[in-house]
Amino acid sequence: MIQVSVLFFATLKDRAGTQATSLKLPQGATVRQLKAALEGRFPALAEALPSALVSVNREFAFDDDPLPAAAEVAFFPPVSGGACP
């Protein structure tokens, strides 16, 4: 088993009702498996996680990326932008 720390930002923090949590996952678990575990623990996140941006140890990550032990995983809502003046 590995332990990962999870951080939520902006609207995801509101949906989860917390800024941070930690989970134990099987060795070799992926970002996708972490998302599934988080949906089980925080059902209000289920609608938002598929489009969330993910970083693992401060680098962008994707669903099939494996999670290293003691990883810090951050979830951000999608960002849209516009032209700057």
Condensed to tens digits (0 to 9), the pLDDT of residues 3-52 reads 999 999 999 999 999 999 999 999 999 999 999 999 999 999 999 999 99
pTM for this entry: 0.90
pLDDT band per the 50, 70, 90 thresholds, residue 85: low
Query: What is d(CA 6, CA 71) in angstroms, rounded to the nearest whole number?
Result: 8
Condensed to tens digits (0 to 9), the pLDDT of residues 47-84 reads 999 999 999 999 999 999 999 999 999 999 987 655 55
| Domain 2-76 homologous superfamily, CATH | Beta-grasp domain (3.10.20.30)
For the chain, give every domain's residue range.
2-76
